[in-house]
């Protein structure tokens, strides 16, 4: 049994704050502070350029990729770190399309995170006028998978509502018609048990600043199924993905296996912080995380529905159909969330009307649930959200 009291103690959780926004930015793992000091002072400061070899900087994207691999059911040597998730979506989609040269349709859904759709739009525009991004409702994805589809580009857990796609079933449907599959695991990695291998995903991508607590802008990951390692090309053919970066050859030649998905110089400081953050997952069993996530989110839904007027559940009621976050609709969701944050209960707002709360079992507990419910009920009861300072929109919501 995973000891969640012990994992909670690994995080810096500011006094007076109930943090239910780890689905957007995970909190600071205490070990990351010392690791950041060490990489800056001892490694960069003292080793200078020798750090690339002596401190293992050059190997970090693959070594840390193996640590993330364990959390998504991927074999060692099939995940590499680097860049942002948007970039990794581009690479995965471009690779998949190149593997289906006779097809022109990319299928996604309207619950996808906009950057995934924007990246697809940009990529397809550069490939030519025949390419098309088809966006259907999440429930309509299965029926829309046909032989015109080159690749599906889907996010397993909806960023607003937490609705979860059936990854193995959709992947099987796509494979039946010869389509490739790209799964975005932004709200899955560290939130729900993921098994890209038994789910037979062709590509998977995700970020590490959400449930993996790697810090703002932490590097993303990309998984390529081992059977595609020799055929998938990285699209962004940078020197770090070259077979021999330090041969300084004038022509590109793809590196071995997953290494070819590297692009440029790795973000060493960010990788070191992420590495420390991943220590929190040692000894943690994902089925335990899942069980506790369901326990916390079910208690939250029950508490809110029993005591909070004017809100409506936006997430699936069946916990098996959700990831690890819960959304409630309220016509004044933005102002309500600002009032919650002012009282130290941090969730977030997603346009147009969703109050979103993430439950991260590594550090959230039942006391967090109780406090969030109590404060939300009070804000709605007293209509304290209805103040100019809560209505004023900020740049980042």
Q: For ligand PLP, how many residues bind (rule: CB under 6 A)? A: 13
**Shortest distance, position 379 Cβ to ligand PLP, whole Å:** 27
Determine the Cα–Cα distance for residues 175 and 326; give it in Å rounded to an integer: 31
Cα R_g (the chain), whole angstroms: 22
Active site includes 209? yes
Q: In whole angstroms, what is the distance from residue 121 CA to residue 127 CA?
A: 10
Q: Is 211 a catalytic residue?
A: no
Give catalytic status of residue 203 as yes or no.
no
Binding flag, residue 121, ligand PLP (CB under 6 A): no
CB 225 → ligand PLP: shortest distance, Å? Answer: 20
102-134 burial, b at 16+ Cβ within 10 Å, e below that, comes to ebbbbbbbebbbeebbebbeebbeeeeeebebe
- The alpha carbon of 334 is separated from its chain's Cα centroid by a whole number of angstroms, namely 23
Interacting span for ligand PLP (CB under 6 A) from 14-22, 109-117, 230-238, 349-357: 109-117
Q: How far apart are CA 233 and CA 214, in angstroms?
A: 27
Does 186 bind ligand PLP (CB under 6 A)? Our answer is yes
Residues 58-97 that bind ligand PLP (CB under 6 A): 84-86
Taking the least distance from each CB to ligand PLP, the nearer of 86 and 148 is: 86
Concatenating the DSSP letter of every residue in 105-131 gives EEEEETTS-HHHHHHHHHHHHHH-TT-
Q: What track of x and - describes contact with ligand PLP for positions 197 through 216 (by CB under 6 A)?
A: ----------x---------
Catalytic site includes residue 184: yes
Range 4-63, binding ligand PLP (CB under 6 A): none
b/e burial code for range 206-244 (CB count within 10 A of at least 16 → b): bbbbbbbbbbeebbbbbbbbeebbeebbbbbebbbbbee
Which residue from 113, 193, 269, 378 is in contact with ligand PLP, where contact means CB under 6 A? Answer: 113
Q: Which of 8, 63, 113, 365 is catalytic?
A: 113
Q: Are 362 and 289 in contact (CB under 8 A)?
A: yes
Q: Which two tokens stand for residue 116?
A: 């995934």
Stretch that binds ligand PLP, among 2-10, 181-189, 268-276, 320-328 (CB under 6 A): 181-189
Instruction: Say whether residue 159 binds ligand PLP (CB under 6 A).
Output: yes
DSSP 31: H
Task: Please report whether residue 183 would count as binding ligand PLP according to CB under 6 A.
Answer: no
| Nearest-approach distance from CB 150 to ligand PLP, in angstroms | 20
| Residues 347-366 interacting with ligand PLP (rule: CB under 6 A) | none
Would you list the DSSP string of 136-150? E-GGGHHHH--TTEE
Return the residue of 78, 91, 155, 315 that touches ligand PLP, per CB under 6 A: 155
Distance of alpha carbon 235 from alpha carbon 93, whole angstroms: 9
Residue 184 within binding range of ligand PLP, rule CB under 6 A: yes
Give the interface with ligand PLP as residue ranges (CB under 6 A): 84-86, 113, 115-116, 155, 159, 184, 186-187, 207, 220
Which residues are the active-site residues? 113, 184, 209-210, 356
């Amino acid at each position: 049994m995973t000891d969640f009291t012990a994992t909670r103690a690994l995080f810096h959780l500011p006094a007076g704050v109930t943090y239910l926004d780890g689905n957007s930015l995970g909190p600071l793992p205490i070990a990351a502070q010392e690791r950041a000091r060490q990489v800056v002072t001892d490694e960069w400061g003292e080793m200078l350029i020798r750090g690339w070899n002596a401190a293992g900087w050059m190997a970090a994207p693959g070594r840390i990729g193996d640590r993330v691999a364990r959390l998504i059911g991927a074999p060692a040597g099939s995940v590499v770190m680097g860049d942002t998730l948007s970039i990794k979506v581009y690479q995965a989609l471009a690779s998949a399309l190149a593997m289906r040269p006779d097809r022109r349709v990319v299928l996604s859904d309207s619950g996808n995170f906009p950057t995934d759709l924007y990246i697809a739009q940009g990529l397809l525009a550069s490939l030519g006028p025949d390419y098309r991004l088809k966006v259907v409702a999440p429930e309509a994805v299965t029926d829309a998978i046909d032989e015109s589809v080159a690749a599906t580009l889907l996010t397993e857990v909806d960023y607003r509502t937490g609705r979860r796609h059936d990854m193995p079933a959709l992947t099987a449907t796509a494979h039946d018609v010869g389509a490739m599959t790209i799964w975005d695991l932004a709200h899955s990695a560290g939130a729900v048990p993921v098994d890209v291998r038994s789910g037979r995903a062709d590509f998977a991508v995700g970020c590490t600043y959400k449930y993996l607590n790697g810090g703002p802008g932490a590097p993303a990951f990309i998984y390529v199924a081992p059977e595609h390692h020799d055929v998938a090309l990285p699209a962004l053919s940078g020197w770090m993905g070259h077979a021999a970066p330090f041969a300084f050859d004038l022509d590109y030649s793809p590196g071995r296996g997953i290494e070819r998905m590297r692009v440029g110089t790795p973000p060493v400081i960010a990788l070191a912080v992420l590495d420390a953050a991943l220590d929190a997952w040692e000894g943690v069993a994902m089925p335990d995380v899942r069980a506790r996530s369901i326990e916390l989110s079910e208690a939250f839904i029950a508490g809110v529905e029993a005591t909070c007027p004017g809100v409506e559940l936006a997430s699936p009621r069946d916990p098996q159909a959700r990831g690890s976050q819960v959304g409630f609709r309220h016509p004044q969701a933005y102002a309500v969330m600002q009032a919650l944050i002012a009282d130290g209960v941090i969730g977030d707002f997603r346009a147009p009307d969703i109050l979103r709360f993430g439950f991260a079992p590594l550090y959230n507990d039942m006391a967090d649930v109780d406090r969030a419910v109590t404060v939300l009920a009070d804000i709605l009861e007293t209509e304290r959200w209805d103040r100019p300072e809560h209505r004023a929109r900020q740049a980042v919501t």
